[in-house]
Every structure is written in structure tokens, then in C-alpha cells.
Chains A and B, each alone.
Chain A
Amino acid sequence: MEVITGAGRNCVKLLRVIQPSLVLAGPETSVLTTQQFRERHTKHWNPKWKKLRREKFVKVDLPNFEEKNDEIPKEVLRSRMKERGVLPPRPWFERSFYISCTGGIFEPYVPPEGDGKKSFISSTGAKQKFEFLEKKSKSMLAVRKIRSYEEDFDTTQFATEAQDIYIKAHQLMAEKNKYAIREVISERAYPEMMHNIRDKTIHWKFLQSLEPPRVVHARCTDLITKENIFAQVTVRFHTQQILAIYDRFGRLMHGSETLPKDVLEYVVFEKHIANEYGVWRLHEKIIPDWMPAKQPAPITFRIEEEPEQPLEAIEAAKEEKVEQVEAGKGGEGSKEKLIAA
């Protein structure tokens, strides 16, 4: 700490320069680099009294409220715990995993380009239709598999059922009903749907289907054991909806209360068919690569520039990657390492 001393008549004036605290890290720190403050300057000029002045007070060990738990160095933490006779917490090595839903889509459906715009009568439309039929064989197998567990499974009937699930999930999301929504969406979809509704009000309305919903894709896969089968069915929805998103203060952020929009979506539904009590739940939405860019938000905002990484760090990261790849080639033992990394 820099100390600027200026001798007064019979006292020492002190102007201290505070270093920026660790609280604010980022571009703001440059503003806070120097903040001066004046100490009391009513002390006797002769330093021989300093000791006596100090001895007037009994030293109290004050806690430092400014320090943050995760910023305390390891050695300091260790010495403090020793002082208090506390054992360090048990390290948490267990990896939790959930087995009532899968973590993604397996063999995802690839939506044909320009879908929803081209009519079936046009040449490209007809071609797409043909290709669609071609790819169907694998889906047929999966549907047969689903039927072996769920006897009255019918793709046309399921499409309407899926639409009900779809509508219910979105309604519950708009209501922010975090308990009921768990019954219609899978645990994978839950954080995605619930994260962005915090502090917002969503008005969502389902108007009509422009085309009847249809099953376009079906797949089955097993996890851990052979009998533990999950079924995923992709349903194509071409619908009209109204969406208006308001921020915390009730100001419109996105969409409109009156303007209906045509929405084409490929929604994946999943069911744990090995489970007797399994239900069809909304799992994920497929967003094709050819989808046009999203409409930008109406407000202006600043794009945060990422700090440039020094060359050494990039090279180090590259080396690590190479090592990982090599380890992956090694065998099963090293695969675990990869997962851990």
C-alpha cells in the first residue's frame, strides 16, 4: 500500500491509496484502481507515543467479512481448520446419473431442407416425400418394438396424443408450474424449459394445426442392460401459435400478443418402455442447421469481448487434447480417463 506523507504543522497527514478489492473483476477494475481516502490526522507528531497509543486498546481478532470462501489459499484454510479442530470435508467422488430418461437423442431425425415451405406437388416436395418413405424401414422396426411393449401403439393416434402433451407442456411452462410440468417433460428437457422463464411472464397460445401432426421418425435403444429400453419418437408439428414474452417489469421483450406465427417443429418424445409405468414425455426439439437465423432482440446490447488467451495457454490446451485422443486410442481403461477429463 502506497503511503503519501505530507508533514502538517504538528501532525502527519495521511492519504492512503486503496488497491482495488477482489470483488470486482473485469473491466470495471480499471475505474477503481485508485481510490484515495484520508486517515485521521490528529495524532501526535512524535512517533514515540505510537506504542502507548497502541497499548490503550486490547487487540481483538476481527473476522474479515470481505474475504470469500473460495478465494482463501489452501494453506490458510488448512491452518484455520487445524486451529478449530475441524476435519476437512469428505471429497465427493460419486457421479450421479439418472436412469429414467436418456441424455439426448440417438440417431436424430434430419429434417428435409425447406420443409414447411415447399408443397408436395412441386418436384422437390415430391422428392422429399419419396426419400422420407425410403428412410422409414428403420423407424418401422422401432415402432414394432414399441408395440411389443405397448400393444395399442398407433402412429396416427400417437401424433394427436403427442400434440396434447406438447400443448400441456407449453401451457405449464407459461404458468411456471414447476411441479406439474415434470409429468409431461423429461428430466433432460426440464432445465432447458425452466431456465429462461425466470423473472419473465410468458403468454403462449396454441391456435391451430396447419397440418395434422405426424410421426416422422422412431428409434429404440437400450441403456446399461439389454432389457432397459427407451423409445424416442419424433413428431412433426406445423402449427399456428401466439407468443409474447414480458420481462420482470411487464415490458414486452419478444413476440406479440396479437400476431399469430406459423411454427414448424420437430419434437422428440421419449418413453421408458421397459418401465411398466412409463409415460410419453417431451424430450427435446430438433433444430435443423438450415433454419434461418433468429430475429434479433429489439433492445440494443453490448457484446462482451472475450479476453484474448495468451499463446501459451492455447498451446497447452492443444497438447492436452492430443494427449486425450491418444489415450482414447489406448483402450477401455483410458476411456474412463477421457470421461473424467
Chain B
Amino acid sequence: MSGLAKQFSRLLAIRCIPNGVRQILPVQALHTTNVLDKNWNTANTGPRKWLQYNKVVHPPQEPHEEPRNAYVCHMKTNIKYSPDKMWYIASFVRGMTVDEAVKQLSFILRKGAKYAKETILEAQKIAVERHNVEFKSNLWIAESFVGKGRYFRGVRRHARGRTGEVEYKHCHYFVRLEEGQPPKDYYLPAPKTPQEQFDEWMEGMRKRKITHTL
């Protein structure tokens, strides 16, 4: 249809509308749903990569090789808790055995501890059921970190008719359990023993260079 004909038909269509009837948008065209809701918001998918690590299949090992340690990744998304606060808990349990972490977390009076504990216990269950982990206590927390979830903006009233912005924060909690015993020093090397310190000093003394000598 040529452009002119199109215009003509449009004119006709407008003429067909009886006078006095106002064209209003149909209700369905308006965005009436709760935009915050996860199920109605396709843009909100959450972290996608972390659980994909559980699908990695490693090549078979030779009989003489040391068996590879099993690991399992797990997460809890959109926890109604600030990621800044959750960070303390996430870094607290890093490098602990699962049993120790669960025990410690039950005595932490922070809301995030509950979520961390739940996630760890779930991960432990998954490890035993699906990832061929023999003993459920033989697991340690190799990785534990926090991600930023959905933030919702709110308004706060201030004095003199001013307003402020409030953020209602959500966070993701990620954990990776690994089979075996945790390393002795997860973060830093242990402080040296007196003997080691002495040996190091001795070594340094012997290696020093004295100028203008034989």
C-alpha cells in the first residue's frame, strides 16, 4: 500500500470514531503490575555463572595420581541484607571446616549468619548427594564471598521539606566447599618460630658483604 493510501485509510479510521467518545489507552497497555516483583521482571536474572562451575567435568585420572578434591559451588540470591554487612560473615567463615563454620555461625548475633549457615548446609547436602563426596564432614570453605543483589530506592523525609534517598539492599552469598582439610593458613603465612627467625638472621649475617675486605 502506498503512503498516500495509508494516510487516507488512517483518516477514514479517525472519522469512524463517533464524536464524543474519547480514545483512551486500553488497561493492558499500561504498566500496572508491580515492577519490583522478580517474576514479572525478566531483566532480573541474578548471578548465572557461579552454579555453572558445578557442571565442569574433569578428565579421568591415572591410578597413580593423587585423587582430585571434589568441590561444590552454591549460592543464595537476593538476601534481604546489606552486602556490606554480609561481608564480615563471608570473610569470617573462609578457610574453616564446614562443621566449624556451622558451629561458629550459630553463635553470631548477626542476621546474615543465618543465611550463610543455611547456604553452607545446603551446599554440604548437595555435595554428598550429587557430587560423590564420601564424608560430609570432610569439607572446608574454600571460597565465601558476597555479591550485590537488587537495590530498591525509597524516599526518606528530612526536616525543612527536604528528602533523602534510601536504598533497600539485597545481596547474594556465594560459597564453594572443597573436600579435604583446610590449609593451615588461609590468609597469611604463620608467624615464624624463634628458631626460624634465628636461622634467617644467621643466614643474613653470613651472606652480608663487608666492603674493603678480603
Interface residue ranges, A against B (CB under 8 Å): 15, 18, 21, 23-24, 26, 28, 31-32, 35-38, 55-58, 60-63, 65-66, 69, 84-86, 199-201, 203, 244, 246-253, 257, 299-302
Contacts and interface: CB of A to CB of B under 8 A. Distances in A.
A63 B33 contact: no
A288 B70 CA distance: 36
B36 A249 contact: no
A37 B157 contact: no
Contacts of B206: none
Contacts of B57: 199-201, 248
A249 B68 CA distance: 6
A271 to B, nearest CB: 34
Contacts of B106: 31, 35
Nearest to B76: A23
Given A28-B121, A37-B109, A61 B36 contact: yes
25 contacts: A18-B114, A21-B118, A24-B118, A26-B125, A28-B125, A32-B114, A32-B118, A60-B152, A62-B152, A63-B36, A63-B37, A69-B39, A201-B60, A244-B60, A248-B58, A248-B70, A248-B131, A249-B69, A249-B132, A251-B68, A299-B132, A299-B134, A301-B128, A301-B134, A302-B128
A30 B87 CA distance: 26
Q: Is the interface on chain B under 10, 10 to 19, 20 to 34, or 35 or more residues? A: 35 or more
Contacts of B170: 65
A23 B118 contact: yes
Contact of A37 (B70, B111, B122): B111
Interface string B91-111: 000000000001000101111
A276 B70 CA distance: 50
Chain B at the A interface: mostly helix, strand, loop or mixed?
mixed
Contacts of A86: 33
B143 to A, nearest CB: 17
Question: Top 6 nearest A-B pairs by Cβ distance?
Answer: A65-B78, A38-B109, A247-B132, A246-B60, A60-B154, A249-B68
B55 interface: yes
Interface in B59-83: 59-61, 63, 67-71, 77-80
B32 interface: yes
B214 interface: no
A56 B61 contact: no
B51 interface: no
A85 B28 contact: yes
Given A32-B117, A84-B34, A302-B128, 19 more contacts: A18-B114, A23-B118, A31-B102, A31-B106, A31-B121, A35-B114, A37-B114, A57-B166, A58-B157, A62-B36, A65-B38, A84-B40, A246-B61, A247-B70, A248-B58, A249-B70, A250-B68, A251-B68, A251-B132
B32 A250 contact: no
Contact of A203 (B60, B67, B118, B152): B60
A247 to B, nearest CB: 4
- Which residue, of A18, A55, A63, A199, has the highest number of chain B Cβ atoms within 10 A? A63
A297 to B, nearest CB: 9
A69 B40 CA distance: 12
B27 interface: yes
Nearest to B30: A85
B56 interface: yes
Contacts of A21: 118
Interface in B136-192: 150, 152, 154-157, 166, 168, 170
Contacts of B69: 249
A253 B109 contact: no
Nearest to B131: A248
A65 B27 CA distance: 27
Contact of A38 (B36, B71, B110): B110
Contacts of A249: 58, 67-71, 132
Interface string B30-56: 001110111110000000000000011
A243 to B, nearest CB: 13
Contacts of A252: 60-61, 63
A248 B121 CA distance: 21
